[in-house]
Structure 1
Amino acid sequence: MKRSLAALVLALPLSLTAAPFSELTLSHADNLRQHAMQSDHAYRVVESLTTEIGPRLPGTHADQRAVDWAKARFEAMGFDSVRLEPVEVPHWERGFADARITLPFPQPLVITALGNSIATPDGGLEAAIIRFATLADLEAADPAAVKGKFVFIDHKMARFKDGRGYGPVVKARGRGAVAAAQKGAVGLLLRSVSTSGHRFAHTGVMRYVDGVTKIPAVALSGPDADQLTRMLALQSDIQVKLELDTLDHGVATSYNVIGEIHGSSKADEIVLIGAHLDSWDEGTGALDDGAGVGIVTAAAQHILALERRPQRTLRVVLYAAEEIGLIGAKAYRDRHKDTLDNHYIAAEADFGAGPIYRIDSRVNDSALSAFTLLTEQLAPLGVERGHNASWGGPDVSVLPVLGVPVAGLAMDGTDYFDYHHTPDDTLDKIKPEAIQQSAAVYTLFAWLMANAETELRPIPLPSQ
């Protein structure tokens, strides 16, 4: 029986069918790999950002200086176009914060205000505490047992390479104050969302909802949470005094900073690699997310340095205000809603400095063989193939529900939550060899995706 031409093509080995990458593309990928693994550009970017700007809380003067810094750096790099896209952001500052046990074992506590928390009344608040192991336990509690007290949620975070211990615990940071207020509590004391045993409190954003009384919310260092638990085992009536002088300045303007290398033959199609420019104000935002800024900026710099233009446009986006709710990401999504169909693929570096050990994706099943070949190009850098259910990173996670393909370049985050959102998030925590490898992986990913001959859509849509 004669077989159709289509059947014959499908029966051919992968190497004999239409290749996802041309020989020229692969040859240049080798050059880029060698160049990137001899470059310290990513580390130098983070060094500059954290030294010259430091912490970059959205809406502050430092945030604006970071935008100016990024724009000037992009222009000096030689991008074909550089622009700022305005984003309206809340401007909150933590001000003074103090907490102490007043009875029966007087001593100070190490705390930090959670982002968006209101201040305490003048003179502070003093009340007994009631402990819950999890947010769910609080939600199931009798309001009579909670009324008039500080709620203390003592949910410990588990350590994993991929950071999956974060999700179950961070819910208490986001929703804990509302749940506590609904039970009649006067404030929230939260064990830091952290894997560290160091006496640092980890900040992060929390939220209020309309119709529920706003109460102040703080994070306790892990050792201080343990201290409170030991005290409660000795005596049930532990009194705490809390003073917060947080400041709400209303709305300010920040910017998404965008640089582009225009494509040679498919310039209307976009490969997006991003990071977020803002940071919390406790440390200098080196790991979160100065490292990501360094990685994606270096990837573009490596491609520019070897002077071979990609077919598709490479767009680097440094998002505003990720820390307080993906605000820059949502603004980007809404501003570019009419051209999202032109986004070939998107990925974001926002989990420290690496190294990257796996590549995940969310693409059409027919494109999986191309990702197998892409992984082969990344294998010399220690990267293996992962799954096809990626969200692509926090800021680009708003895109898959609109049909945009994404990739997740998974970084080793074993110790990421030791430093995350603390005064200890500083440049010395970045290993130069790790960020160099991560930047090299992003360089090859961006180059190969910008020259791929594979259709990635329609993607398997995630549930919303």
Structure 2
Amino acid sequence: MHIIRPACLAGIAALLLSTSLTVGASASTQPSPSAVDLAQQGDDPAWAITEALTTEIGPRQAATEAEAAARRWAVARLTAMGFQNVREEPFMMPTWVRGAEEASLIGPFQPQKLHITALGTSASTGPGGLEGEIVYFESYDALVAAPDHQVKGKIVFIDHQMKAAQDGSGYGQYGRARFIGANVAAKKGAIATVIRSIGTDSHRAPHTGGTNFETGVKPIPAGALSNPDADQLVRQWKRVRTGGAGPLRMKLLLTPKNLGQQRSGNVIAEVPGSDPAASPVIIACHLDSWDLGTGAIDDAAGCGIITAAAKHVMTAGQPRRTIRILWAGAEEVGVFGGKAYFDAHGKEKHAVALESDFGADRVWRIDFKLPDSAKALSDRLAAAVMPFGVVRGRQPANGGADIGALVRAGVPAVDLAQDGTRYFDLHHTPDDTLDKIDPVQLRQNVVVWSAVLAILANSEDSELP
């Protein structure tokens, strides 16, 4: 222990006073907190938005009253947060809603109910349902290769085993069974299509999602089974195939309706930039959701993330470029909001586009699709996010669904790739609820987005046109 002698006390007191004055003067001239500082230390607007949207509105299927309520909620919320030019931009779209959903295996074994959900744009079986023999295909490709006579008059079942991946890369491959499987089956004469859910979980919660029929192809009923129920169907099919009993039969009841053209819309808000001549940065999410859960990971969290980042940049000081926030409508059922935005604004110049629509788990990779003039900018962005566990990717950014038309038209893009390892456990299911969001990982998203958005919104014309 160091002992302070009385003779030194006067000098020490003077030193302390001098130090306190210096510290006070220094504190008064400290720079304002950066967007990243605010994201790390302040309140979390992303959680507040996600919690409130899923609690006060809940499911938000496109072009329904629930989605309209969500747009009204969004306009009020964004206005209250201090954003400018907050508005709804409406558009019309064809609208499909689900009805009754039942399925049972009815032979040759003891009848058993299955957990099923209709796929978007599925036709109705009619109120009496339908019964038929099941024809099994191990994959979408096997169905494509099958002769028509093997399919005609039967209920097609498409099996597949999607595996979890950090980048969600299996979705495109396995998702074909949902995206266009029913269309292929209908062209071959099937009376209905049932698929194993496009998901990586083992819960009795089927995954919905849209399916697509070509012009001129008459839609047929199409549904998705939960993975455990698909397993049960496969076990029965194997017994039928090897034991000689059969055929394997299903009773199916799906009664969705088409409501014709209904109103949906995009909600737009802005952080005005200091340079009106500078092209804006657009950041996007989608406001609508499927109707089975409350749309927490898909995509209330995305709207929370991008909006929180814009709020932090705005609070830190006016950026050079305008930040335009797009809460797109009707993404789930055909990216109608993204198409409507492009129709309305596609000829305007945009500096760069970003989207958050892959849940709420941590950002782990940054990808770029920027002009050659932006090499130093991309290096700066990669360095800014590295401290938060984000690595630089080697593939070009794609931008996401709602800004896809802009990116295809040549608008530069940055992707902040989220960890999708558990995303397809929850995607399009009743389990897409607020309790699945990890607030710590959600905040990491906001920190990374704030770092990137602050740099992009203050970039020079020599970096981004």
> Is the structural similarity TM-score above 0.5?
yes
Alpha-carbon deviation of 1:90? 2.2
Contact 1:363 1:456 in 2 (8 A): no
Change (3 A) 1:130 1:115: same
Alpha-carbon deviation of 1:267? 4.9
Contact 1:271 1:344 in 2 (8 A): yes
Specify the code of the residue in structure 1 equivalent to 2:70.
A
- SS of 1:189's equivalent in the other structure is strand
For normalisation by structure 1, the TM-score amounts to 0.90
Distance (Å, rounded) in 2 between the aligned partners of 1:445 and 1:30: 16
Spell out, residue by residue over 1:179-236, the C-alpha distance to the aligned partner (whole angstroms, 9 max, x if none): 1111111000011000111111000001112222221000011111111111111014
- SS of 1:242's equivalent in the other structure is strand
Alpha-carbon deviation of 1:116? 1.1
2:455 match: 448
Specify the code of the residue in structure 2 equivalent to 1:354.
D
1:143 match: 148
1:404 match: 411
Change (3 A) 1:28 1:108: farther
Spell out, residue by residue over 1:257-289, the C-alpha distance to the aligned partner (whole angstroms, 9 max, x if none): 000011102454110111000000000000000
1:88 match: 92
Pick aligned residue for 2:388 from 381, 387, 390: 381
- Aligned ranges 1:307-326 → 2 under 5 Å: 308-326=317-335
- SS of 1:290's equivalent in the other structure is helix
Give the length in aligned residue pairs. 429
- SS of 1:358's equivalent in the other structure is strand
In the alignment, structure 1 residue 226 sits paired with structure 2 residue 236: no
- SS of 1:398's equivalent in the other structure is helix
Give 1 or 2 for the bigger CA radius of gyration. Answer: 2
Question: Which one is further off, 262-271 or 289-298?
Answer: 262-271
1:171 match: 176
Change (3 A) 1:217 1:29: farther
Change (3 A) 1:309 1:414: same
Contact 1:271 1:343 in 2 (8 A): yes
In structure 1, list runs of 5 or more residues that go unmatched.
1-26, 459-464
In structure 2, list runs of 5 or more residues that go unmatched.
1-29, 242-246
Distance (Å, rounded) in 2 between the aligned partners of 1:78 and 1:446: 18
- SS of 1:87's equivalent in the other structure is strand
Distance (Å, rounded) in 2 between the aligned partners of 1:390 and 1:302: 24
- Aligned ranges 1:196-345 → 2 under 5 Å: 196-236=201-241, 237-306=247-316, 308-339=317-348, 342-345=349-352
Contact 1:353 1:430 in 2 (8 A): yes
1:461 match: none
Distance (Å, rounded) in 2 between the aligned partners of 1:29 and 1:322: 38
Specify the code of the residue in structure 2 equivalent to 1:153.
I
For normalisation by structure 2, the TM-score amounts to 0.90
- SS of 2:34's equivalent in the other structure is helix
Alpha-carbon deviation of 1:456? 5.0
Contact 1:357 1:383 in 2 (8 A): yes
Question: Which one is further off, 416-425 or 137-146?
Answer: 137-146
In the alignment, structure 1 residue 104 sits paired with structure 2 residue 108: yes
2:12 match: none
- SS of 2:403's equivalent in the other structure is helix
Contact 1:372 1:385 in 2 (8 A): no
- SS of 2:180's equivalent in the other structure is helix
Contact 1:362 1:390 in 2 (8 A): yes
Contact 2:346 2:406 in 1 (8 A): no
1:48 match: 52
Q: CA RMSD in A?
A: 1.6
- SS of 1:343's equivalent in the other structure is coil
Distance (Å, rounded) in 1 between the aligned partners of 2:215 and 2:393: 41
1:34 match: 37
Specify the code of the residue in structure 2 equivalent to 1:208.
F
Distance (Å, rounded) in 1 between the aligned partners of 2:269 and 2:49: 15
2:424 match: 417
Alpha-carbon deviation of 1:144? 1.3
Alpha-carbon deviation of 1:388? 4.9
Contact 1:119 1:216 in 2 (8 A): yes
Alpha-carbon deviation of 1:290? 0.6
Distance (Å, rounded) in 2 between the aligned partners of 1:97 and 1:380: 48
Pick aligned residue for 2:186 from 181, 190, 201: 181
Alpha-carbon deviation of 1:304? 2.8
Specify the code of the residue in structure 2 equivalent to 1:256.
N
- SS of 1:137's equivalent in the other structure is helix
Distance (Å, rounded) in 1 between the aligned partners of 2:371 and 2:218: 46
2:399 match: 392
- SS of 2:354's equivalent in the other structure is strand
Contact 1:370 1:454 in 2 (8 A): no
Q: Provide the identity percentage.
A: 47
- SS of 2:280's equivalent in the other structure is strand
Distance (Å, rounded) in 1 between the aligned partners of 2:196 and 2:409: 36
Change (3 A) 1:456 1:327: farther
